[in-house]
Amino acid sequence: MVIVVVWFVYRRQRTLKTIVADYRPGVTVLKPIAGVDENLESNLVSFFEIDYEPLQIIFGCDRDDDPGIVLVRQVAERYPRRDVLILTGCEGTAASPKIVNLEAMLPHAKHELVLLSDSNVRIYRDEMARLVQPMRDERVGLVYQPVVGVDDQSAAAAIENLRLTEYPCILAVVSKVLRIEDCVMGKGMLCRRKALASIGDFGVVRDTAADDFLLGLAIRRGGWKLYLSEIPAWTVHVRWSWQSFIRRQSRHAAMRFRMAWWGYLLEMLGNPPMIWLLLAIAGGWNSLPWILGCMVVKTITEALIVGWIRSQPVAFKHWWVVTAKDVLMIYVLIRAMFNNRVHWRGKDYRMIAGTKLVREMPTTAELAPSSNNSTACSSR
């Protein structure tokens, strides 16, 4: 956490000094839509109000009547000058529902740089200009953003946002600083079209769950540089549910276990409650003051650091979820080892080695014929 704080301070200050006013390459935002996420409208508005040109925004959805895409149309009507394309009825043979949408959207991108951005992500007006700066180096094929969870009002949302900031964000930064690995997260990925084309676009990840990490790995192996941005992907959870926390974290844990089981076991053993349990076994009741002290220090440190990283303090009434999160993650990590079934975007899959997705038998409703036209487009 100390490493992350130092990195953020240094990189943020350096970036503000190195923005080149006349470097404004065209950017196309690819945003898959599936249902209505929390605060979806305000997240959408944040992209329509980006202070950046030239900019194109493409939305993709598998259904024309999806409530999320209906809201997209309503918001788009307020910004007639913004270059927007809405694709519905996106169909394909990829197992990953996200990749199905991305494969339908990519051919319509007008610009060399494409930002892959999830629907629950928010952006600030000046951040695109800062996000594109590393692309001045023609050798950079991918700029990926650390994930930071924000806007929690309930305890369940706080635990999700703490986990997102604690794990994807801090892990990505520490791994990059120590030159261990590029832990690419898919909430925000700015890609160069040439880099994508050199690896066959999304073909290498179309049937996998860990498409973000594997896409970054393929781009790097293709001879391109990867750059970790100091601009986070602000991921919004306001009133999340405990069930959603367990479901999402179990899916992510299942990915990690099926990609590197040895690292997964280290993650499990490094979970604070596991360390406290071993300490209790070794020291008995005499270790209780040490365990309580560790819990207090961990809680205070994480709450303060996460609040600082996201420029949004963690409410004191939610500090207790720091320990609750660590304890719940033991259950999640054990569960993911023995359960290879995941539910993602309304569909059920089995996840096998390499996070390859195998679709379960579709329901009767899913087999019913759709009235949508494949990859139908509407734009202004």
**Domain spans, the chain:** 2-241, 243-366
Single-letter amino acid code for the residue at 259: M
Does residue 100 contact residue 62 with C-beta atoms inside 8 Å?
yes
Does residue 159 contact residue 181 with C-beta atoms inside 8 Å?
no
pLDDT computed for residue 19 by the predictor = 64
Is residue 208 pLDDT above 50, yes or no?
A: yes
- 46-83 pLDDT, tens digit per residue, is 999 999 999 999 999 988 999 999 999 999 999 999 99
Single-letter amino acid code for the residue at 213: F
Residue 208: DSSP 8-state: B
Is residue 377 pLDDT above 70, yes or no?
A: no
**3-state class (DSSP) for residue 26:** coil
Q: Alpha-carbon distance 308 to 320, whole Å? A: 18
Q: Alpha-carbon distance 19 to 21, whole Å? A: 6
Is residue 2 pLDDT above 80, yes or no?
A: no
Single-letter amino acid code for the residue at 354: G
Is residue 134 pLDDT above 50, yes or no?
A: yes
Q: What percent of the chain has pLDDT over 90?
A: 51
Is residue 363 pLDDT above 90, yes or no?
A: no
- 17-54 pLDDT, tens digit per residue, is 666 667 899 999 999 998 898 899 999 999 999 999 99
- 93-108 pLDDT, tens digit per residue, is 888 888 989 999 999 9
- 135-154 pLDDT, tens digit per residue, is 999 999 999 999 999 999 99
Residues in CB range of 337: below 8 A, 6 or more apart? 257, 264
Residue 127: DSSP 8-state: H
Single-letter amino acid code for the residue at 102: L
Is residue 368 pLDDT above 50, yes or no?
A: no
Residue 45 burial (C-beta neighbours within 10 Å; 0-12, 13-18, 19+): middle
Q: What percent of the chain has pLDDT over 70?
A: 91
pLDDT computed for residue 93 by the predictor = 80
Is residue 87 pLDDT above 90, yes or no?
A: yes
CATH code given to domain 2-241: 3.90.550.10
- 316-341 pLDDT, tens digit per residue, is 999 999 999 999 999 999 999 988 88
pLDDT computed for residue 63 by the predictor = 87
